[in-house]
Amino acid sequence: MRIGIFDSGLGGLTVAAAIINELPDAQLIYFGDTARVPYGPKSQKTIQKFAEQNTRFLISKNIDMLVIACNTASAYALSLLKSSFSIPIIDVIAPGVKSALGVSKDAIIGIIGTIGTIKSGAYQEALTRLKPRATIVVKPCPLFVPLVEEGFLNHPVTKLVAREYLDVFKRAKIDTLVLACTHYPLLKPVITEVLGNQVLIVDSAIETAREVSLIANEIRLSGKDNSEKGMHEFYLSDVDYSFSEIAIKALNLGELDMQYLNIEEY
Ligand code: DGL
């Protein structure tokens, strides 16, 4: 099974790790759009163009299914990709919403993500469609992305920023918080420290991997999975000096098969 997966950069590795855990036999073809990161503050039109190019590239690598391992791209481009391409496509929003509704006792749910994800209203819509009476509190947390990329996972500056961003959730007395951005799971300890243990934290990576596993089974049963398992492949659209090291650690790999490409050609 060749599973194509893309993100704006390295955040999608959290989803890749969960997929490898769930489907050890799958071969990942990972694309990180490091030339055009961050996606969070960009317009829907731009993100749709990027998502189409990324998908065309991954399809050229003969994938059986596609995972959009980026919340901003899922929020802005899922319907477009589904209507333009015929392979199975899985996003990170539906699994995160399902998981939040499964664990939330009082349906007072907080969502944090990039400006694009929050502005798109994708999570808010998906939650209210399934639970019309849910109370939803949202807050874009753009500074969390560079803090994670700087490795400031447990840094006093990150704690200060987290207290500022998350205060609204304390006041609203949420019982569940959805981490609607691929970078945020790495800040779980700081977020829990600020909000307290009683707030349940939903990280959609695990639920997304379960969904991928279900689709993978369907593909196998229909006999369309004809690939032999090879090494995971990694492609980036520009240099990212920390990518290799982080990917090797996150995915527990011995070495990394990584190449660069010009994504604008797709
Ligand atoms: N991967 C993005 C997301 O999940 C966060 C990083 C970015 O802004 O590109 O929304």
What is the per-residue pLDDT for 230? 82
What is the per-residue pLDDT for 244? 93
Among 134, 128, 107, 114, smallest CA distance to 180 is for 114
Confirm or reject: Cβ of 96 under 6 Å from ligand 1. Answer: no
Residue 176 φ then ψ, to 5°: -140, 140
What is the per-residue pLDDT for 227? 64
Is residue 226 predicted with pLDDT exceeding 80? no
pLDDT tens track for 85-100:
999 999 999 999 999 9
Confirm or reject: Cβ of 190 under 6 Å from ligand 1. Answer: no
With cut-offs at 50, 70 and 90, classify the pLDDT of residue 242: confident
What is the per-residue pLDDT for 135? 97
Quote the CA–CA distance of 37 and 31 in Å, as a whole number.
12
Averaged pLDDT, 199-223: 92
Confirm or reject: Cβ of 42 under 6 Å from ligand 1. Answer: no
Averaged pLDDT, 149-157: 92
**Do residues 162 and 143 make contact, with C-beta atoms less than 8 angstroms apart?**
no
**Distance between Cα 183 and ligand 1 center (Å):** 7
Quote the CA–CA distance of 184 and 176 in Å, as a whole number.
15
Read off the tokens for 246: 């982080």
**Distance between Cα 72 and ligand 1 center (Å):** 6
Is 181 considered catalytic here? yes
With cut-offs at 50, 70 and 90, classify the pLDDT of residue 198: very high
Confirm or reject: Cβ of 72 under 6 Å from ligand 1. Answer: yes
Cis peptide upstream of residue 140 (ω within 30 degrees of 0): no
**Which of 70, 136, 145, 186 is labelled catalytic?**
70
Residue 158 has, within 13 A of its CA and on its CB side, a CA count of 21
**Distance between Cα 83 and ligand 1 center (Å):** 23
Among 23, 38, 131, 122, smallest CA distance to 77 is for 122
**Distance between Cα 228 and ligand 1 center (Å):** 31
Quote the CA–CA distance of 6 and 16 in Å, as a whole number.
9
What is the per-residue pLDDT for 86? 96
What is the per-residue pLDDT for 169? 98
Other CB atoms within a 10 A radius of the CB of residue 266 amount to 15
The pTM assigned to this predicted structure is 0.95
What is the per-residue pLDDT for 225? 66
**Which of 18, 23, 65, 181 is labelled catalytic?**
181
**Distance between Cα 116 and ligand 1 center (Å):** 9
Other CB atoms within a 10 A radius of the CB of residue 53 amount to 19
What is the per-residue pLDDT for 248? 94
Ligand 1 atom showing the smallest separation from residue 142 Cα: 8
Residue nearest to atom 2 of ligand 1 (CA): 70
Ligand 1 atom showing the smallest separation from residue 181 Cα: 4
Is residue 164 predicted with pLDDT exceeding 70? yes
- Rg of the chain's alpha carbons, rounded to an integer? 18
**Do residues 228 and 25 make contact, with C-beta atoms less than 8 angstroms apart?**
no
The domains of the chain, with CATH numbers, are 2-91+206-265 (3.40.50.1860), 93-204 (3.40.50.1860)
Average model confidence (pLDDT) across the chain: 95
